[in-house]
Structure 1
Amino acid sequence: MSVNKLGLPVKETEELVNELNVLLANFQVYYQNLRGIHWNIRGKRFFELHVKFEELYNDAQVKVDMIAERVLTLGGVPLHTLADYLAVNKLKISKNVSQDVDAVQVIIDSIGGLLQLERTILAQSAAIDDEGTNSMMSDFISEQEKTLWMMEAWLS
């Protein structure tokens, strides 16, 4: 078995890079969904949600950068065009969402999709002892599980 400069198996690392690029693309769609609901939110909860959505899209932007840098660290090339993102996106693209409940539901659905991708990556990275990716996915998952709980609590 050949290993890369990090001591990770080459073939499995390439497969992991592909999955990280799918996650990167989906995070970009999530980010843009958040921007859209941040810009378009209306109603009596505007001030509360406008600030929360900004917090979430700023966090997503940081995570996008982290994922791209992990792809580079593993020797890959991060996807970086809208066409590439749309080609591998698995999340629903939201448009003209302005009502509070609908906006929060977009977030819940998106986080659910991201968690599925992250758990797949976590399993792959654990299988090859890639602690860097494991750690990043574990952090993402625990943060997003909490956000998901909070959004669902808000809906109820």
Structure 2
Amino acid sequence: MKLNSLGLETNKAKDIAGDLNNLLANFQTYYQNLRGIHWNIKGKNFFDLHVKFEELYTDANMKVDALAERILTLGETPLHTFEDYINTAKVPVGKNISKDEDAVQLIVNSLSELLQIERLILDKSGDANDEGTSSMMSDFISEQEKTVWMMNAWLGESN
């Protein structure tokens, strides 16, 4: 069993970095969706949602950077081209969304996809004793679960 400079099994760290790259691609799509709905939102909820979407895309942008840096920390290269993101991401792409309910539903759908990926990474990182990645995923999951709850409440739905 070969260990990297972090004390993690090299093959497990590489596998986790691959999963983090998948998450990175999905986060980049989510981020771009948030930018689009921030710019294009219309209607009576414009002022509230415009501000909320900016808050969410600012947070997503910070998470993208944290993911890329974690991938580098694990000794791998983060995906960084639109081609890679398009070919990898499963988060739904929102195009020309201007209606409030459609925009909020896109966020719920996107976060649901991100949460699935994050839970997979959380399991793998726990098995690999990779506390850095585990901690990151735990933080992401708890924040996003709350956002899903709030967005569903706004939509008048329950989880």
Interval of TM-score (by shorter of Structure 1 and Structure 2): over 0.9
1:11-69 CA-to-partner distances (Å, cap 9, x unmatched) read: 11111010000000000000000000000000000000000000000000000000000
Summarize the alignment of residues 1-156 of structure 1 with structure 2, pairs less than 5 Å apart. Answer: 1-156=1-156
Determine helix, strand or coil for the equivalent of 1:50: helix
Could you list the structure 1 runs, at least 4 aligned residues long, displaced by more than 4 angstroms after superposition.
Answer: none
Please, which runs of 5 or more residues in structure 2 have no aligned partner?
none
Deviation at 1:87, TM superposition (A): 1.0
Deviation at 1:138, TM superposition (A): 0.1
* Aligned counterparts of 2:108 and 2:49: Cα–Cα separation in 1: 14
Partner letter of residue 135 of structure 1? S
RMSD between superposed Cα atoms in Å: 0.4
Partner letter of residue 2 of structure 2? S
* Aligned counterparts of 1:10 and 1:53: Cα–Cα separation in 2: 39
1:92-124 CA-to-partner distances (Å, cap 9, x unmatched) read: 111000000000000000000000000000001
Please, which runs of 5 or more residues in structure 1 have no aligned partner?
none
- Give the TM-score, by structure 2 length: 0.97
* Identical counterparts, % of pairs: 63
Determine helix, strand or coil for the equivalent of 1:121: helix
Determine helix, strand or coil for the equivalent of 1:39: helix
